[in-house]
Chains A and B, each alone.
Chain A
Amino acid sequence: MHIKDTDNARIAGFIRNRKSLTEEQQLVEAGKIINQINEVDVTTAWRNVSGRINQPKTSRLIFRQLQRIAAVLFFPVLLVSMWSLFVKIPEIKSTLIAHQEVTSPIGCRTKVELPDGTYAWLNAESTIKFPVPFIGQKREVELMGEAYFEVTPNKEKPFVITSDEAKVTVLGTSFNFRSYEEDKVVEVVLKEGAVRLESEYNNIASEYLMKPNNRVVVNKRSGELKITDVHVDKYIAWHKNKLVFDESSIEELAAKLERWYGVEVIIEDKNLQAYRFSTTFENESLQHVIDLLELSSPINIEYKQAEYKPEAKTVTKSKIIITKR
């Protein structure tokens, strides 16, 4: 009864107050609201919510399994524990291993710090998967897509990246690894340190010990390795939010823009095949990139904003259409 009365009184007072605000007072009130918004602790809130959306399923599952196991084990456990009163049993170490997966969606680049202090920058549409806790003889991760790694040195525990049928083993170093599913090749570019690249495509197993500035491209069809020396910066600039085109074909340009900005690129003119694009953008908006490309290359670019299709209840991607000028 008490609770009901105080709630009612509070709400009634609140409504009266809101209704009687003059225009000036409303503005002050709006100012307070904005201050309150700035003070909300979104990080704590996210921790709560992400904890709730990730935890319940597994813990409930584990609990149910434990119940079952407990029922089956109860009698033997009883025997064992009686036995252990007399005989000492060696300690059993067991660890539950789960996997953590981090994905960088289209149009985004994401920096991930692994539990060993290694940094991995994930390019758009890339996923990294690693065990939690991050223990074992080796530090093993799986990669789909493209990532730049700065691996924390640890001679005892090699860092191993597996992607498709290629594997890179490192002790501590920086390098770029690219292997999108639709790519015809796997590409590894080494900035510093040393890494061993192993691959097995087309039943051909290869192994190569890479040195700084090496770029190794593995052909997924033939299993062939191609090794060149390159300027590394061009291959890793993306992790510093630089979009680099260096003698890039129109297809490469289109593919990069699609991932970088989450748009659809349509090339309407076959005559552009021979043209090469060379330019670098740093933290630019899509509109600015379009303007600069039009200025510097013989092309016209039309931008079509994303559309809402009411009949299908879907939103299309924004499109950019490239034609020859």
Chain B
Amino acid sequence: MQIIDGVEEGVLIDKLIQGDQLAFEKLFRFYYPGLAVYARQFVTDAEKAEEIVQDFFVRFWEKHTSLQPSDSLKSYLFSSVKNSSLNVLKRLKVEERYLRNIQLLSDDHLLYDPDLYIASELQDKIQKAIDKLPDRCREVFILSRINGLKNDEIALQLNISKRTVETQISKALKILKVELKEYIGLLALWGFINL
């Protein structure tokens, strides 16, 4: 079960059903950023995406008393936001065939996996995978992908050949791909800054 701010999600849901706004805020702060970027994968517009997710949360609050405690808040939230996004596209009169296409895309494409959008779980996995790398390999990898140094700068700094830098990076990527294969999307390491 998801833990949010040290509290089990189920506890927060129970509180939400009783009308506790603080519990609602905790859930909101946890899920909102991911959902906002998820909605962007449908409407392709950041502002519109945030609008969709905020509208959704207002409706979600309005019916909090009729919620059923459930163990799958995550899938409920993501599928609701997906439906809202598709409805907005319909309202924009986007052609039926494109709607069908984007729906198909969202069913099995890696970039639409809700797990990619729940930052805490993801960052945790990535951190653990990086921690597991051999020392030298990890050092090169962090300098390259996280600190953004160029290969020859790393070579100079660590006093190794540029060739070694390249082999260490590809070794790191290979290991991480295996470690993180359940979330392939994660190899986010390309752009990942918050580690």
Contact = CB atoms under 8 A, between A and B. Distances in A.
| Interaction A to B | yes
Interface of A: 3-4, 7-8, 10-12, 14-15, 18-19, 23, 26-38, 40, 42, 45-46, 48-50, 52-53, 102-108, 110, 262, 305-306, 308, 313-315, 317-318
A27 B184 contact: yes
Interface string B174-192: 0000000000111111111
Contacts of B32: 40, 42, 45-46
Given A34-B122, A318-B8, 20 more contacts: A4-B93, A8-B98, A15-B98, A15-B101, A26-B184, A31-B188, A31-B191, A33-B111, A35-B193, A36-B37, A37-B33, A46-B29, A49-B57, A103-B21, A105-B12, A108-B7, A262-B11, A306-B1, A306-B10, A317-B10
Interface of B: 1, 5-8, 10-15, 20-23, 25, 28-29, 32-34, 36-37, 40-41, 44, 46, 50, 53-54, 57-58, 61-62, 68-71, 89, 92-95, 98, 101-102, 105, 109-111, 116-117, 119, 122, 184-194
A105 B179 CA distance: 37
Nearest to B109: A18
B84 to A, nearest CB: 14
A37 B93 contact: no
B111 A26 contact: yes
A26 B110 contact: yes
Nearest to B14: A315
Contacts of B187: 27, 30-31
A115 B33 CA distance: 30
A313 to B, nearest CB: 5
B111 A29 contact: yes
A18 B191 contact: no
B98 A45 contact: no
Main secondary structure of the interface of A (DSSP, over half): helix
Given A35-B191, A49-B28, A105-B22, A18 B34 contact: no
Contacts of B188: 27, 30-31, 33-34
Nearest to B126: A34
Given A46-B28, A53-B58, A40 B36 contact: yes
A36 B49 CA distance: 12
A191 to B, nearest CB: 26
B105 A15 contact: yes
B7 A45 contact: no
A32 B191 CA distance: 6
Contacts of B94: 7-8, 11
B37 A40 contact: yes
B89 A27 contact: no
A264 B125 CA distance: 30
Contact of B33 (A4, A38, A103): A38
B30 to A, nearest CB: 9
Given A30-B185, A33-B37, A102 B70 contact: no
B138 to A, nearest CB: 18
Contacts of B62: 53
A3 B45 CA distance: 14
B167 to A, nearest CB: 18
Which 6 pairs of residues, A with B, have the shortest CB-CB distance?
A: A31-B191, A30-B185, A40-B33, A31-B188, A27-B187, A31-B190
Contacts of B15: 105-106
A317 B11 CA distance: 8
